[in-house]
Copies of this chain bind each other. A is one copy, B any other.
Amino acid sequence: MSATVHPPVPEGRQELVLERIEAFRRRRPRLTDEVVTLAHGAGGKASAALIDAVFLEAFRNEALEQLGDGALLPLPSGDQLAFATDSYVVRPHRFPGGSIGSLAVHGTVNDLAMCGARPSWLSAAFVIEEGFPVAELAALAADMAAAAAAAGVTVVTGDTKVVDTGAADGVFITTAGVGLVPAGRRLAADRVRPGDVVLVSGTLGDHGVAVLLARGDLDLEADVTSDTAPLAGLVEVLLAAAPGTRWLRDPTRGGVGTVCNELAAQAGVAVVLQESALPVRRPVGGACDLLGIDPLYVANEGKFVAVVPAEEAGAALTALRAHPLGADAAVIGRIAGEPERIVLLETSFGGSRIVDMLVGDPLPRIC
């Protein structure tokens, strides 16, 4: 590793920074908790520790260990099938811009799109608390149907379970999705190279803040709408403009900060973000300031982070901005060779700080 940390560190502090970096590298999350906490569901460091210790340990296999948004599976025909799943437990069930129903479609469609797949079919499994209003269930199903139609997918199979009052919180929805990856397309962390450019398809934190405000327990009003949206179309726009695109991920739970850490760890590179380039809507930024949370860690449900070759970044940005879902797309950083496995944020003051994965869960049940 080079003795110079990028960006330059004030005289006399280089050693301190190098020590911190080493400490981060060693700190592969390890599960020490004896019971599951909300943090284990937040998509950050505790989630990674739980997944490592419990699920990877039990199920260890190549497809799962990719830890992508979905699994890529070889069919006998030579085609590649993408397969993804997510459970949705968001509270409240309705929020500005969407509902648990539309989210359950968008989230899984987006996981498939992040694998490079064209989403085709969804399953939908409902765990419903006894006493849940049938009309509300029907309205959520209608939201799902509308979201599916807009995303070009079909809900082809499902399940309904009912549990006694108090054994669930209204309704939980689990969707799984399948789609095919067009021949020759491969998006993967190991394709990322120093010099590549990091893009985001729009503003950060809209979903998390919209849901938080919709809960109404904060004495805070702001005009924030969830960004929940299907991204498969925007991905096709990106790949047409920047066919060399290396890697894609939707920064849901854990936010952009966490997915950049996953990228840095998987690709063995540094992700260097520029604070001033991060697109954040004013009311979202204001709410985050008041709540003491960082938009870098707040969930998005209609955005992706993409790594593209530097020479394709301009075309990618132009194409994304011409699409309604990519109007606020921005270059937010670059890939560097060092310090390996670290995300750095170049602050507006000319310094830099290490961006860790999300620790704890500032916003539980956001998706």
Contacts and interface: CB of A to CB of B under 8 A. Distances in A.
> Taking the full assembly, how many copies of this chain does it contain?
2
Interface in A122-149: 123-135, 137-138, 141-142, 144-145, 148
Interface stretch (A158-166, A231-239, A242-250): A158-166
Contacts of A95: none
Measured as residues with beta carbon below 8 angstroms from the partner, the interface class of chain A is 35 or more
B157 A58 contact: no
A61 B152 CA distance: 13
Given A162-B40, A169-B163, A131 B35 contact: yes
Interface stretch (A49-57, A201-209, A254-262): A49-57
A85 interface: yes
A365 interface: yes
Given A59-B148, A84-B123, A31 B364 contact: no
Interface stretch (A73-81, A186-194, A293-301, A338-346): A73-81
Nearest to A72: B156
Q: Which of A75, A126, A130, A159 has the largest count of B CB atoms less than 10 A from its CB?
A: A159
A211 interface: no
Interface stretch (A3-11, A174-182, A277-285, A320-328): A174-182
A304 interface: no
A1 interface: no
Contacts of A128: 36, 40-41
A354 interface: no
Given A58-B144, A75-B77, A137 B174 contact: no
A203 B39 CA distance: 45
A203 to B, nearest CB: 25
Interface string A29-40: 001011111111
A178 B40 contact: no
Interface stretch (A63-71, A220-228, A268-276): A63-71
